[in-house]
Structure 1
Amino acid sequence: MSTENMQQAVVYAKPGGSEVLELTTRPVAEPGPGEVRVAVRLSGVNPTDWKSRTGADPGAPKVPNQDGSGVVDAVGPGVDPGLVGRRVWLWEAAWQRLDGTAQQYVVLPVRQAVPLPDSASFELGASLGIPGMTAHRALTLGQHGPSRLAPGALAGRTVLVAGGAGAVGNAAIQLAHWAGATVIATVSSDEKRRLAEAAGAHHVVDYKAQDAAVTVRALAPDGVDLVVEVAVAANTALDLAVLANGGTVAFYADDAGAELTVPVRESMARNLRWLGVLVYTMPEQAKDDAVAALTDALADGAYRGGEEAGLPWHTYPLAEAAAAHDAVSGGAVGKVLIRVAD
């Protein structure tokens, strides 16, 4: 095979720490029916990327990372050839597949390569997938809530975003603000307060410097309608204290295997809902709704990235994918990206 059909990729062939990631050369795949091949510019790293690497044996060399951005390079049978050259953002590339975005070219179903407006950078495109879709799912699980966000869809509702400086927290703040909710975010430092405010939170509560329950309840006397929760086991008491009757907690992180215990009688009496969120296993329609809403928010200029939007970008070269994974597992504040190509 000629060198023109080869590419650089990061792979791992066994579970383990970041040391199992290896930069290698492998063939460039051809797209099959209903697929596109994307020349990857940036690969986004999420917590599930390093967690899945440490878990089950992939069974064969696997390229990590679900999210990314790039340009459509080729299309398979049945796909519009006019897509070649289109800028796209990618989601769920490595779910139940061996080919994630930490490589120069990735082949995936056309549905998972979404047009990226010229106004949006490749950095923003690579930051969208799992964080944005997780946030959208969480924000649409409230009682009598919309299935798809749009301007005004959450008007009159109060949303509490726990961990407002994280990638999902940032996405939840931006999307809830766009949809018309009053947004309260909790953070743990002045620096994170600044980031949550930059994302668009109407109120920010530093739970290390303030009594969070008292402060949130003062901001929302009738209670919070929906909590987008990053640490549900640790924050159960806070959530109970601030939820309105009929309120919902949508949690998306397991906090290293923590177990959730809730008071049954109080949850019943107040009609509270505790719902988990995982993008990979949520209904396909919910995924399509999230992609559509994110596309609309981008077009409206309501979903932004970078320091000015409260989501600093931390970029690593492809050869330093291990360091990028370590940055995410170490709790880097902002979005970690791997630059695959200029």
Structure 2
Amino acid sequence: MKAAWYTRNGSAREVLQLGELKKPVAAPGQVLVRVHAIGINPSDSKARAGTALPAGVERIVPHQDGAGVIEAVGDSVSTSRVGERVWIFEALHSGGTGCAAEYVAVPSANAVPLPDGIPFEVGACLGVPALTAHRCVYADGPVSGLKLLVTGGAGSVGAHAIQFAKSGGASVFTTISNDKQAAIAEAAGADLIIDRTKEDQVARLQEATGASSERSVDRVIDVAFGVNLGTTMKVLKENGVIATYSSDAKPEPTLSFFPLLRLAATIRFIFVYNMSAEAHRQAVEATNIGLQEGWLQTTIAARFPLDQIVEAHELSESGKSTGKVVILLD
């Protein structure tokens, strides 16, 4: 089968290879999926660039997320799944190889039925972003009637977080930095969109919520924890929650202990690969409900064939794409 892989860490252009590998076989409890589309996540690129290969592993076929059709099943999996359209999450993390190949074998639970009418390219974008977003929104309980700030509302996680929060009855405010991002956040359903490069976030939030003080939001879902912490501490209400999944620009932030203590704030770190089985189950179920009901949407920025996987990685890492970069194998 045609596949892409790397044998050492480095830039996409330095280390990604294309070629033929042996087609996998579905082991007990697994399904064999003919891959039609692959989604690129920041964690895929970070792993390729800097996560050492495990001892004894000669190559890594990358990409956690994909979508396709089940071609065969292993023992203990119902043969009724053969021919089923599915979206895949955590292919590589589940102990096998990733989705950057014509075929991948994954645990049956990691191949989720893809609702009718949803394209494979959309299914390939769901795993990391949608499951992360759902956990960020709901890890601390229902959001009905609450006011949530989602930073980076045009990102893959941010847009899904807006969608999940709105479906749960929250008022959702978000930050963006250009008109293209604003359009995505608006389509996701945000009640207030703030251009963080031009506007006073604290003042806009207070005005929009009618709060008597700067403390205007119940929860913050944050893509840049370290950079945003100063603003977050101004707008978060007492007993509020910060759910964060990234802090790339400032990976070692300094925390002001006593102000956070007096707020009785909860800081929750969300790492999709360490979510409990129950958290995964809830997020998967909610994602498929959103797809079926039509309110869970994905913006795709660019599509590449597998033999241009290097260019796909480079675009995804460049920060110049608004939306997901996908690889199509059809």
Determine whether 1:209 maps to 2:198.
Answer: yes
Instruction: Report the residue type matching 1:85 in the other structure.
Output: G
3-state SS in 2 of match to 1:313: strand
Unaligned ranges ≥5, structure 2: none
Deviation of 1:156 after TM superposition, in Å, equals 0.2
Aligned with residue 228 of structure 2, among 222, 232, 235: 235
CA pair 33-257 structure 1, distance change in 2 beyond 3 A: farther
Instruction: Report the residue type matching 1:17 in the other structure.
Output: S
Determine whether 1:86 maps to 2:84.
Answer: yes
Equivalent in the alignment of 2:245: 252
**Contact map agreement 2:6 2:60 (CA 8 A) in 1:** yes
Give me the CA root mean square deviation. Answer: 1.3
Equivalent in the alignment of 1:321: 309
TM-score, length-scaled by structure 2: 0.94
Aligned with residue 49 of structure 1, among 44, 48, 51: 44
Q: Aligned partners of 1:267 and 1:300: how far apart in 2?
A: 39
**Contact map agreement 1:226 1:249 (CA 8 A) in 2:** yes
Deviation of 1:95 after TM superposition, in Å, equals 1.2
Q: Aligned partners of 2:104 and 2:50: how far apart in 1?
A: 23
**More divergent stretch after superposition (122-131 vs 248-257):** 248-257
Deviation of 1:204 after TM superposition, in Å, equals 0.3
Instruction: Report the residue type matching 2:3 in the other structure.
Output: A
3-state SS in 1 of match to 2:279: helix
CA pair 111-98 structure 1, distance change in 2 beyond 3 A: closer
Q: Aligned partners of 2:120 and 2:165: how far apart in 1?
A: 23
Equivalent in the alignment of 1:16: 10
Q: Aligned partners of 1:257 and 1:340: how far apart in 2?
A: 36
Q: Aligned partners of 1:62 and 1:243: how far apart in 2?
A: 42
Deviation of 1:57 after TM superposition, in Å, equals 2.8
Q: Aligned partners of 1:14 and 1:269: how far apart in 2?
A: 47
Aligned with residue 288 of structure 2, among 284, 295, 298: 295
**Contact map agreement 1:13 1:57 (CA 8 A) in 2:** no
Runs of 4+ in 1 over 3 A off after TM superposition: none
Equivalent in the alignment of 2:164: 175
1:84-137 deviation per Cα after TM superposition (whole angstroms, max 9, x unaligned): 111100000111635101100000000000000012111211111000001011
Q: Aligned partners of 1:180 and 1:163: how far apart in 2?
A: 20
3-state SS in 1 of match to 2:239: strand
Deviation of 1:257 after TM superposition, in Å, equals 5.7
Q: Aligned partners of 1:56 and 1:272: how far apart in 2?
A: 32
Determine whether 1:112 maps to 2:100.
Answer: no
**Contact map agreement 2:147 2:219 (CA 8 A) in 1:** yes
Number of residue equivalences: 321
Q: Aligned partners of 1:312 and 1:56: how far apart in 2?
A: 27
Deviation of 1:140 after TM superposition, in Å, equals 1.5
**Contact map agreement 1:61 1:98 (CA 8 A) in 2:** no
Equivalent in the alignment of 1:75: 73
Q: Aligned partners of 1:49 and 1:256: how far apart in 2?
A: 18
Equivalent in the alignment of 1:161: 150
Q: Aligned partners of 2:149 and 2:195: how far apart in 1?
A: 13
3-state SS in 2 of match to 1:184: strand
CA pair 312-96 structure 1, distance change in 2 beyond 3 A: closer
Instruction: Report the residue type matching 2:89 in the other structure.
Output: W
Q: Aligned partners of 2:128 and 2:39: how far apart in 1?
A: 9
**Contact map agreement 2:227 2:250 (CA 8 A) in 1:** no
Q: Aligned partners of 2:206 and 2:226: how far apart in 1?
A: 20
Equivalent in the alignment of 2:326: 337
3-state SS in 2 of match to 1:27: coil
Equivalent in the alignment of 1:262: 255
Q: Aligned partners of 2:317 and 2:249: how far apart in 1?
A: 11
Q: Aligned partners of 1:258 and 1:336: how far apart in 2?
A: 25
Instruction: Report the residue type matching 1:39 in the other structure.
Output: R
Q: Aligned partners of 2:18 and 2:47: how far apart in 1?
A: 18
TM-score, length-scaled by structure 1: 0.91
1:288-321 deviation per Cα after TM superposition (whole angstroms, max 9, x unaligned): 111111122222222122xxxxx23311110011
**More divergent stretch after superposition (89-98 vs 285-294):** 89-98
Q: Aligned partners of 2:216 and 2:202: how far apart in 1?
A: 10
